[in-house]
Amino acid sequence: MRILHTSDWHLGRSLLGKRRYPEFTQFLDWMLQCIDEQKINVLIIAGDIFDTTTPSVTAQDQYYNFLAKAATKASCQHIVVIGGNHDSPNFLNAPGAILKSLDIHVVGQACEDLKDEVLVLKDEQNQVKLIVCAVPFLSDRDIRRYIPLESLEDKDQRIIEAHHQHYQAVAEYAKQLATQHNVPIVATGHLFMTGGLTNDGDGVRDLYVGTLGQLKTDLFSTDFNYVALGHIHQHQKVGGFNHIRYSGSPLAMCFAEAGRSKKVLIIDFNEHHEADINELEVPSFQRLDKISGNLTSLLSQLEALKALNEPIWLEVTYDSEELQPNLRSLLQECIKNSEVEILKLINHQRRNQRLQSEESLETLNELSVEEVFKRLLERQNIPEEQQSELIKTYQETIFRLHQEQESTTETV
């Protein structure tokens, strides 16, 4: 079976206040075209289908319309969807019975019986062709009991052990089935692996603060012929292994990714069940760009971008000794009546910052929550050796808050 691996769609996500629904629609239409042209048999979506646990009606409409159309494609025999840390497990699982009738397999959260995470995929002749260990994001409440006053170090170790036990259990059952039918095994995951490359502002939330960078490739059984990962937004191999991959997000999630190619991965298996992996570049549906310099340079670059006559979203960095109290209004005047929009303005004036106009300062909308916290530490002159510990404690607090909010949402 030919597989297409994608992840981290984040349907409903906006960028600095700009809605991105048209981009998502174009991407999903392109995906349908890919399934046809590449004769894809199995589509795997490795988590974070939505950007929030309560997706908008428009985001839901995009998701279900896509599934309905993809399921009717002649080549597409199965679709496998796993939950990510941004997804609501209950929301994904709710229509599971209906979707399964269309050979759409949804695993929104860890199953009580881990055998339910092991899928046996058959072709049109009812022959078993592939085993998929559809392991979703393993949340704190799924894999570890809360222990009052537990240290971060003990918590880290328990989480690592829980991940290993989970993957070992599904691998053992999958191996039995794969040996019986002589077919390859594909595993999924939505987690942060050692050495994973991310960008500031790309929305990759630390899944487990203490264990960040401690989940290694020994997590995965050597019997897995391919591992389809989600969570990190850059497409990349893991630990130097060709068959353990992040597909990355299909859209640039922040300006740090401006101009960087986005991929989906197509996997074929040879007679020895070895994975042959091809990267297929995703078209850019909305141009993001970054420019920097003094005022003269910025105005010149803006004129050049205007001349392209295409929609462009910009991050602008003013980098000069010269004070420009009316910087934002000057730049906005330059792009007036054009398709260029400045979504983020960073002011790097190096002197007399207190005299800068409020217009040229960053707004809270341009900073992440963690960036605001770090700025406060710097402003309070907290020693650097204390900042790292405070940031770690802060991340832990935010993570637990997100978990509690998501649990409350699920209950409601």
| 53 close to 375: Cβ distance less than 8 angstroms | no
Q: Per residue, what are the HEC states of 30-50? A: HHHHHHHHCCCCEEEEECCCE
Q: Is the pLDDT of residue 307 over 50?
A: yes
Strand positions, DSSP E, 90-247: 104-107, 118-122, 128-133, 185-190, 226-230, 236-238, 241-246
Q: How confident is the prediction for the chain on average, in pLDDT?
A: 87
More confident: 104 or 204: 104
pLDDT at 4 over 60: yes
The tokens 């909305």 sit on which residue? 286
Q: What is the rounded CA–CA span in Å between residue 6 and residue 164?
A: 24
Residue ranges of domains in the chain:
2-281, 287-356, 364-410
Q: What's the rounded Cα separation, in Å, for the pair 372 and 370?
A: 5
- Where helices occur in 262-383 by DSSP H, the ranges are 295-306, 327-334, 369-379
- Phi, psi dihedral angles at 93 (to 5 degrees): -75, -25
Question: What proportion of the chain, given as a percentage, has pLDDT over 70?
Answer: 84
Between 53 and 213, name the one with better pLDDT: 53
Provide the pLDDT for residue 173.
97
| Cβ atoms of 59 and 11 closer than 8 Å | yes
What confidence score (pLDDT) does residue 356 get?
45
pLDDT of residue 275: 96
Q: What would the pLDDT profile of 239-256 be if each residue is shown by its tens digit? A: 889 999 999 999 999 999
Identify the CA nearest to 48 among candidates 245, 205, 200, 283: 205
Of residues 291 and 356, the one with the higher pLDDT is: 291
pTM for the whole structure: 0.82
Q: What's the average model confidence in pLDDT over 305-318? A: 94
| Burial class of residue 192 in the structure, from the number of CB atoms within 10 Å of its CB (0-12 exposed, 13-18 middle, 19+ buried) | buried
The pLDDT of residue 350 is: 47
Q: What is the pLDDT of residues 92-115, one digit of tens each?
A: 999 999 999 999 999 999 999 999
Question: What is the average pLDDT across 154-161?
Answer: 82
Two tokens, residue 391: 């940031």
86: left (phi over 0), alpha (psi -120 to 50) or beta: alpha
pLDDT given at position 22: 96
Classify domain 287-356 by CATH number: 3.30.160.720
Q: Give me the mean pLDDT over the 69-94 stretch.
A: 95
The three-state DSSP-derived secondary structure of 277-298 is: EEEEEECCCCEEEEEEECHHHH
The alpha-carbon radius of gyration of the chain (Å, integer) is 23
212, pLDDT greater than 50: no
pLDDT value, residue 233: 93
Residue 354: is its pLDDT beyond 50? no
Query: Lowest-pLDDT range, 150-154, 341-345, 407-411?
Result: 407-411
Tokens found for residue 404: 């509690």
Is the pLDDT confidence value at 399 over 70? no
2-281 folds as Purple Acid Phosphatase; chain A, domain 2 (3.60.21)
pLDDT in tens, 325-341: 889 999 999 999 999 99
